[in-house]
Amino acid sequence: MAFFACSESPAGETTATETPAAETTPEDRAVPEVQYTLTKDQTHNKFSSAIPPILRVASGAVIEAFTEDASDEQFDLDSGLEDLDALDFGPIHPITGPVYVEGAMPGDVLKVTLHEVEVGDWGWNAIVPGFGFLADTLPGKYIRIYELGANKEYVQFNENIRIPLRPFPGVMGVAPPTEEMLSTIPPRANGGNMDDPNLTEGTTVYFPVFVEGGLFSIGDGHATQGLGEVCGTAIEAPLRIVYQIELVKNRSIQEPQYETDDYYATTGFAPTIDEAAKKATLYMIEYLREAHGLSTEEAYALCSLAGDLKIAEVVDMPNMLVTMHLSKETLGVN
């Protein structure tokens, strides 16, 4: 295997130069060869079509991306409540990118497969006053720093409770069809801050393309998180992510969808859980009609019999995210 280190061209975009890589092991030979490496310094923290790409690739490119923690390194292993009090939300959510995919045009789909998601050396979890699902009910503040590492499998929450690590990027998305600099805090049709712990290693995510090249970015690493992310933060951590990005023509979706070996999922964002759940259900009905030839009524009935609505996140105002999962065994595609 060979890794490719990136350097900037005069235009500010990234070019690839080949450098030797460590010998592969049997465990990682299923991961495709990395073609480009993006560093944690190649970031931005807004979604906009006006942000220029740092890398241009052909469909099928395999990219290694290093990401910062959500605070943009405002915390470290020695941080305490005084650092939480000084937290500046301005740099929140540094995301690595954008990546321009050649040939991608509005109406297309970008397929992003997460081949490796590796957690960094440390992470933090906090309750920030005024932020979180119960901000009006539980106004306290809290911060805890965790020592992590690529080989760590769980964290010890207390003497009796331990939590498995399932690292994933909380933010993934393409540029929206506007030059306005949009906050990365809420999820939108372009993806963004989905905070869905199912979007981990082995998952393939589909994004609607709104602007030429797609302009894909990734970041907001989470070492582990429950569905909902109710206190407002996961264990926020830097990540190393290897992903493959492919262009899909002749398919159109309105909001992100994803799949694993076990299920297919649709997502819906909205200001309320009710609205988001309705959208996720309608998108699954549309998928079942197009991909499996069901009538609208058959698809609706199947969603009731076998579809699982899940709350991905409830804290990133003004939007919430709901997903619907449907087993591939049920669909007869396993």
In DSSP notation, 264-308 reads EEEEEEESSHHHHHHHHHHHHHHHHHHHH---HHHHHHHHHHHEE
What distance in Å separates the CA atoms of residue 233 and residue 254, rounded to the nearest whole number? Answer: 27
DSSP assigned state of 181: -
Q: Are 128 and 274 within one domain?
A: no
- Strand duo 168-173 + 162-164: pairing: unpaired
What does the mean pLDDT of the chain come to?
92
Q: How far apart are CA 250 and CA 147, in angstroms?
A: 46
> Is 228 in the same domain as 324?
no
Boundary residue ending a domain (252, 279, 305): 252
pTM, to two decimals:
0.90
Domain identity same for 287 and 267: yes
Q: Which of 231, 252, 273 is the last residue of a domain?
A: 252
Is 59 in the same domain as 202?
yes
Q: How confident is the model at residue 110 (pLDDT cuts 50, 70, 90)?
A: very high
- Number of domains comprising the chain: 2
pLDDT band at 8 (very low <50, low <70, confident <90, very high): very low
pLDDT digits (tens, 9 = 90+) for 231-290: 999 999 999 999 999 999 999 999 999 999 999 999 999 999 999 999 999 999 999 999
Asked whether residue 245 falls in the same domain as residue 271, the answer is no
Give me the pLDDT at residue 288, please: 98
What pLDDT shows up at residue 9? Answer: 38
Q: Find out whether 238 and 95 touch, Cβ atoms under 8 Å.
A: no
Q: Do both 19 and 92 map to the same domain?
A: yes
Q: Which domain holds residue 299?
A: 261-334
Last residue of a domain, one of 228, 252, 276: 252
Over the stretch 125-149, which tens digit does the pLDDT of each residue have? 999 999 999 999 998 899 999 999 9
Give the pLDDT of residue 25. 40
Q: Are 287 and 294 in contact (CB under 8 A)?
A: no
CATH number at residue 331: 3.10.28.20
> Does 81 share its domain with 223?
yes
User: Which tokens go with 154?
Assistant: 């769980």
Give 197-231 pLDDT, tens digit per residue: 999 999 999 999 999 999 999 999 999 999 999 99
Check whether 58 has a pLDDT greater than 50: yes
Q: Which two tokens stand for residue 116?
A: 């490796």
Distance CA 333, CA 208 (A): 24
- First CA to last CA across the chain, in angstroms? 31
Look up residue 327 and give its two tokens.
């087993």
Helix pair 296-306, 273-292: axis angle to 10 deg: 120
pLDDT at 10: 34
Indicate the helix (H) or strand (E) that contains 221.
strand 214-222
